[in-house]
Amino acid sequence: MAETITGIVSRFIFKAETFAIFKLDDIVTLGDVVGIREGDRLTVTGSWQEHPKYGRQFRIEHWEKPVPSTEEAAEGFLSSGLIKGVGPVLAERIVKTLGPDAVSVIIKDPNALKKVKGVGKRAPEICRQLQETYQVQQVVAELMRFGLTLKTTMKAYKKFGRPAAEYVRRNPYCLTELDLIGFHRADDIARRAGLAPDSLFRVKAGILHVLNESLWNEGHTYLPRDELISRSLVLLNHAEKSVPPDAVEKELPRLQEVRGDAEVSLTWARECEEEIARDVKRLARQRFEPPPLPRNLIEGIELTPDQETAVKTALESGFSILTGGPGVGKTQTVRAVIRAFELQNPWGKALLCAPTGRAARRLSEMTGRQAHTAHKLLGLRNGHASHSRKNPLECDLLILDEASMACLVLTKRLLEAVPSGARVLLVGDADQLPSVGPGNVLRDLLDKVPTVRLAEIFRQAAESQIVTSAHRINKGQMPLIDRSRPDFVFLERDDPEDIAKCAATCASGMGYGPLDVQVLSPMRKGPVGTAELNKLIQGERPGPRVKYGQYAFHVGDKVIHTKNNYLKGVMNGDLGMVEEIRGQDVLVQYSDGLVSYSGDDLKELEPAWAVTIHKGQGSEFKAVIVPVTTSHYVMLHRSLIYTAVTRAREKVILVGTKKALAIAVRNNKPIQRYTMLAGILESNPA
């Protein structure tokens, strides 16, 4: 039930770009606000909520700063100290001259102060302060007429200032510069505002939208010029043919945000690839004296010749890669690299990291050494890193595991923070899917720097149906299903709905904990996509729930965080369980602690009984269930099935048709990504 409270802002507890937590009189109040100061009188509308740590709080849904309308209120405000240069005597004189609505009168007509005796040269500054104090809500009110939410209007005001409403009216596509609105929403506002469909503002926004979508949704760091023009025209002419091809051609050279002629990139993405190439060359040109390797580098383990080569390569090279499939001894080799490095450099420092929290934890367990997420290692928070080129990491050896998951941005941040004189070793399976984010860094770097491939499957690993099946799939061979072996199972179902029901039943009845079993689907949509599978597995749960968009969250739900959030300390891909529902707050238990979500925070949370294979990359589960159906025909790739199977430690269940599995195994066409990194390195090798 909405409630309205009026009070004085007595103290700020926390203040970010457009969000604040503050005391309104003695009430802890929080929400999207901008342009308010201590001492301001506010009227806020919202609801009470209970925070697990900080107790009862009032969450704002709407706020306003009432303009004084009585003599007493006007004098009190003007003499409060908020308006510099106005004391009690002058405040009384202003109100007696201009009346109880003196503040409103001055805001509307700055010349009104000329009527007040004794103001003199202070008039422009007094007027400016008053306008600044109240202009926020005026601008917000104008912006909300465009159908924008309070949060979006706050962002717009923060970015564009007082002229925000005029900017939006003239060019609604300026809103696409904000995180909270995309091209299609801006297009709708532009249409209602009467902007011509062939406006150059629209053409520019359309081109940038296509490049951004291809970057973040498909991983391309550039698009061929003809493909970019074609995609842009499809977008811009989806309702009516209003933009001719030459309009896009003419606009491209004018865009400061893009680079390239035949291969067109967003400028910052091209610069990222160029910086990665420079840092790879900077580190790779270093050479070190390799130490003699003792026979028992790791007690009780004899390294294969390929593993010995990998250890020597890692220690003598400034930059190297170790790659190979499951069961070939990559982790053993990493342990050997660390041990040999320590023998050679007793005072040296080795750092271990991985792109995700789950991958970092697994690296720690397997090596017995502390490992961090790359984000934590760099101290990344709100887009800024504690460690960078100016303040590099203190290390002599940096090992990045699950390197196939490292996107363009993360790799750039990591390599620029590595000091000259340190070695870098990337470890990963190059046959897995590329990163969720943009780029194809590991594949682009293969053989451009010293690279060792491990291929020999260890005897113990060879006894696993999961390992042998993964290697068969990777060679284009169907896995051998041995019904007497429980670790690799194929359940034949034809109808997509039967496949979905079977996968859901398996997930619920295997006897594993929720975080130990994972359904991995190639797609989000369709009868066997993650959306439908999550509904089936989640079912109708009793008790309180919080609904946000298409999702409802209940106690006991398995969830996945979908965007790096440095304030909460939760990374994209982190899995957790809903521990408690308190009012409209969802409390999620992660491996590193309890995290609270409310309001728009919930857009970063999704059900995770089933996730896409891409989202599961870098994680390892005791059991994995994979629906395989021709209804996912466009996504039936060998690398997808291979990646899904290699996520399992104890059991794999494939559910579907052998025809669909055979199509996937035969389809070795790589998931193509347009990237520049390999070409940059080839044109100027390390």
What pLDDT, on the 0 to 100 scale, is given for residue 322?
Answer: 97
Q: Map out the domains of the chain as residue ranges.
A: 3-64, 71-144, 169-264, 270-456, 477-667
- Residues 421 and 43: their CA atoms lie apart, in Å, by 59
What pLDDT, on the 0 to 100 scale, is given for residue 459?
Answer: 58
- Residues 424 and 653: their CA atoms lie apart, in Å, by 37
- Residues 676 and 276: their CA atoms lie apart, in Å, by 11
- 607 touches 577 (CB < 8 A): no
Contacts of 573 (CB under 8 A, 6+ apart): 356, 357, 358, 436, 560, 561, 562, 615, 618, 619
Strand pairing class (350-354; 545-548): unpaired
Question: CATH topology of 270-456 equal to that of 477-667?
Answer: yes
Low-confidence ranges of the chain (pLDDT < 50): none
What pLDDT, on the 0 to 100 scale, is given for residue 301?
Answer: 80
Three-state secondary-structure class, residue 649: strand
- Residues 229 and 251: their CA atoms lie apart, in Å, by 10
What kind and span of H or E run contains 55? strand 55-64
* pLDDT tens track for 350-387: 999 998 877 888 899 889 999 998 988 998 876 688 99
* Superfamily of domain 477-667 in the CATH hierarchy: P-loop containing nucleotide triphosphate hydrolases (3.40.50.300)
What pLDDT, on the 0 to 100 scale, is given for residue 668?
Answer: 81
> Topology of 270-456 in CATH?
Rossmann fold (3.40.50)
- 123 touches 109 (CB < 8 A): no
- 393 touches 443 (CB < 8 A): no
CATH match of 3-64 with 3.90.180.10: no
What pLDDT, on the 0 to 100 scale, is given for residue 334?
Answer: 94
- 578 touches 607 (CB < 8 A): no
What pLDDT, on the 0 to 100 scale, is given for residue 273?
Answer: 96
What pLDDT, on the 0 to 100 scale, is given for residue 381?
Answer: 73
Q: DSSP letters of 108-149?
A: H-GGGGGGSTT-GGGHHHHHHHHHHHHHHHHHHHHHHTTT--
What kind and span of H or E run contains 357? helix 357-367
What pLDDT, on the 0 to 100 scale, is given for residue 427?
Answer: 96
- Residues 30 and 15: their CA atoms lie apart, in Å, by 10
Question: What is residue 388's DSSP assignment?
Answer: S
Question: Structurally, what CATH architecture does the domain formed by 169-264 represent?
Answer: Orthogonal Bundle (1.10)
